[in-house]
């Protein structure tokens, strides 16, 4: 077991939050997430209370907010009982961090492999949690066979078959999907990212993916999801134009996901996150913060960094609630197995103790006057 950090953390958590606005900054480009670290087999976690006496899940339920976390293999690790305990107490929704990506489900072109994803979905449903599906079409995490396809017609058919097969399998159990992930380019003047789908099928691969998903499950909410789009900037402008065009063409899109992989220098108000979310809401779309984590910056005093981290979490949730967002999802449960573990970006630390960011979210979720 990793050692618990000094008592300063607890004092920060319990003290009234007087958090300032973080400085200017932005998202970090998220590469494919590595496999999270595994504790030594001897480091069995003893049974203990799931974090705080306050339940974020109960507070979110009272607001009608989907409040979720990305999950991975640790959910089924017998040496980590606090993982499931913390997840079930504080989150009313889950998303598979990697298990529902193309390479995880469809590495063999001739057959799907749903076992691990089914286990996550079935466990969530048993615990009364909503499941977000992530992700059907992405330029990354593709099996090798996709790269062998040489014609538009073959790749379009393969993409449609994949989307149809996955969404049909989970129909009625997965209520919403990130249908297309990170299709917009970071480079100015190039609206869409180079990918096998864009290069062979063309820009209409996005519309076709959404139509296939809707045909497979007409009741599922369908999202476009991307990073570095949290505030008003050139990339979020490009996403706005993309989805506005989709709506004009009658494409069945219901929402936009904003990943929010950030650091403690990010200025939520300065980046105009609320105004950005509101313009998508004004199109009639749902919005969700879908992959939230806030990385600590190295070489700075811990107390100040934890306070800045809490401020960013607080301001993000406040902006989200202000536009009546549909969901707020952290990209993991605990710092221990975050894909950015070195930056300690989540609301629970390595040993599942709540951090100041937890208290900040609890205060934002609490009913007025509490």
Phi, psi dihedral angles at 48 (to 5 degrees):
-155, 165
Integer Cα distance of 329 and 68 in angstroms: 4
Integer Cα distance of 283 and 269 in angstroms: 22
Integer Cα distance of 34 and 113 in angstroms: 20
Half-sphere exposure of 173 (CA within 13 A, CB side): 17
Residue 97 appears among annotated catalytic residues: no
State the burial class of residue 321 (Cβ atoms within 10 Å of its Cβ: 0-12, 13-18, 19+). Answer: middle
Measured CA to CA in angstroms, residue 346 lies from 282, 284, 289, 325, 329 at distances of 30, 31, 14, 20, 11
User: In the structure encoding, which two tokens stand for residue 78, read together?
Assistant: 């017998």
Integer Cα distance of 251 and 243 in angstroms: 9
The sign of the dihedral angle between the CA atoms of 282, 25, 261, 91 is negative
DSSP, residue by residue, 40-97: -TT-PPPP---S-SS-HHHHHHHHT-EEEEEE-GGGG-TT-HHHHHHHHHH-SEEEES
Q: Among 80, 97, 208, 291, which one carries the catalytic annotation?
A: 291
Residue 182 appears among annotated catalytic residues: yes
Q: DSSP assignment, residue 3?
A: P
Q: Among 182, 208, 305, 364, which one carries the catalytic annotation?
A: 182
| Cβ count near 185 (within 10 Å) | 16
Q: Which residues are catalytic?
A: 182, 291
């Amino acid at each position: 077991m990793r050692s618990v950090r000094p008592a300063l953390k607890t004092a920060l958590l319990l003290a009234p939050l007087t958090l300032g606005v973080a400085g200017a900054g932005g998202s970090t480009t998220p590469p494919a997430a590595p496999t999270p670290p595994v504790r030594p087999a001897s480091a069995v976690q003893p049974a203990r209370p799931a974090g705080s006496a306050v339940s974020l899940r109960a507070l979110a339920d009272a607001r009608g907010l989907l409040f979720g976390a990305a999950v991975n293999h640790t959910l089924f690790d017998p040496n980590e009982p606090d993982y499931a305990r913390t997840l079930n107490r504080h989150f009313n929704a889950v998303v598979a961090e990697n298990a529902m990506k193309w390479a995880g489900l469809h590495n063999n072109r001739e057959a799907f492999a749903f076992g691990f994803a089914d286990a996550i979905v079935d466990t969530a449903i048993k615990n009364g949690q909503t499941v977000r599906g992530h992700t059907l079409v992405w330029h990354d995490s593709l099996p090798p066979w996709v790269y062998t396809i040489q014609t538009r017609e073959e790749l379009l058919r393969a993409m449609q078959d994949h989307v149809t097969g996955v969404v049909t399998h989970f129909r009625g159990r997965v209520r919403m999907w990130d249908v297309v992930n990170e299709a917009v380019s970071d480079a100015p003047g190039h609206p869409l990212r180079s990918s096998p789908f864009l290069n062979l099928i063309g820009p209409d691969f996005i519309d076709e993916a959404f139509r296939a998903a809707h045909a497979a499950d007409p009741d599922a909410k369908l999202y476009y999801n991307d990073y570095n789009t949290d505030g008003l900037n050139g990339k979020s402008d490009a996403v706005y134009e993309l989805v506005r065009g989709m709506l004009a063409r009658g494409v069945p899109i219901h929402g936009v996901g904003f990943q929010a992989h950030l650091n403690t220098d990010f200025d939520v108000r300065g980046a105009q996150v609320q105004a950005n979310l509101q313009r998508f809401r004004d199109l009639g779309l749902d919005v969700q913060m879908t992959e939230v984590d806030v990385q600590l910056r190295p070489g700075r005093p811990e107390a100040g960094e934890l306070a800045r981290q809490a401020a960013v979490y607080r301001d993000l949730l406040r902006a989200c609630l202000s536009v009546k967002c549909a969901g707020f999802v952290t990209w993991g449960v605990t710092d221990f197995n975050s894909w950015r573990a070195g930056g300690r970006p989540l609301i629970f630390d390595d040993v599942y103790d709540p951090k100041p960011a937890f208290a900040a979210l609890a205060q934002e979720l609490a009913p007025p006057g509490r």
